[in-house]
Amino acid sequence: MLTAFFLNTLLISVRLLPLVVASPIVFFARFPLTVRVLLALVLATVMASAISPEQTPVLSLQALFGEFLLGVVMAFGFHAAHAGLDMAGKLIDTQIGLNAAGVFDPGTSTVTGLIAELLALGFALLFVALDMHHALLRVFADVLMAIPPGSVSAAALNVPLVEILSKQFLLAFMLVIPVILGLWLTDAAFAFLSRSMPQANVYFLALPVKLGVGVLLLLLSLPLIVQRIPLLFENALRFSAAPAGAP
């Protein structure tokens, strides 16, 4: 009985690694690695306690690798959503000119733009405020019932990852498309101005204008962004449940 429990805990913890340890959520990603690993082990222990002790999985390298791949597939929707928002935010930072004011993030050892960091924080806050972490745990439990530890098959991994990536990126860009289009129109206006007034230093004139227009458009678009970010969560949860045969 104890052997089955420990084996189930080990296999479930490996399945949880791609989302809990390599978490796309800002809050969890900045926890120390030891804390994230312990959190995965605690969650795995709770889930393993609900499995019948008669179900003793076979521990093998193939089983561990299959569990890890299943975890990657289940977490891919959330990672794609975060990557899409991050890329959209960095595009706005580049257009506004805030890349020069990039902030070094010691948690990820990268330089992040201000708008990209704002979108990532909004993504994380809404994830917790809307109880998406509870919904995600329910999805993991449903998948665990459909695919017990150590029984991952090729059919469970047959998920269209390219479709997931394209849908999440497209939705992320649609959230900020008013800001991007407004900044592109501002660039076009200053391009016409530079052609009609070649003696003017249009570049330095455009910098404060683009900053003001970009911030104003972002503030006006924030209600729409907050309303639409939950669609990213819904898509990610649906993709996470796909290995269990959910539509």
Q: Is residue 123's pLDDT more than 50?
A: yes
Domain ranges (residues) in the chain: 2-244
What is the rounded average pLDDT of the residues 20-41?
81
What is the rounded average pLDDT of the residues 79-107?
78
Per-residue exposure over 213-243, b if at least 16 CB sit within 10 Å of its own CB, e if not: bbbebbeebeeebeeebebbbebbbebbbbb
Per-residue pLDDT band at 109 (split at 50, 70, 90): low
pLDDT in tens, 207-223: 888 888 888 998 898 88
Paired tokens of 153? 């098959």
Paired tokens of 198? 């070649």
pLDDT score, position 215: 87
The rounded mean pLDDT for the chain is 82
The rounded distance, in Å, linking the Cα atoms of 20 and 41 is 10
This prediction has a pTM of 0.81
The rounded distance, in Å, linking the Cα atoms of 74 and 244 is 10
pLDDT in tens, 33-60: 888 888 888 888 888 888 777 766 777 7
Element (H, E) at 112: strand 110-112
Q: Is residue 141's pLDDT more than 80?
A: yes
Per-residue pLDDT band at 145 (split at 50, 70, 90): confident
Smallest CA-to-CA distance from 244 within 163, 164, 157 is with 157
pLDDT score, position 74: 85
Paired tokens of 175? 């959230």
Q: Is residue 184's pLDDT more than 50?
A: yes
Q: Which amino acid is located at 115 in the chain?
A: I
Contacts of 160 (CB under 8 A, 6+ apart): none
Paired tokens of 15? 């399945």
Local structure of 103: helix, strand or coil? strand
Burial (CB count <10 Å: 0-12, 13-18, 19+), residue 64: middle
CB-based contact 88:175 (threshold 8 Å): yes
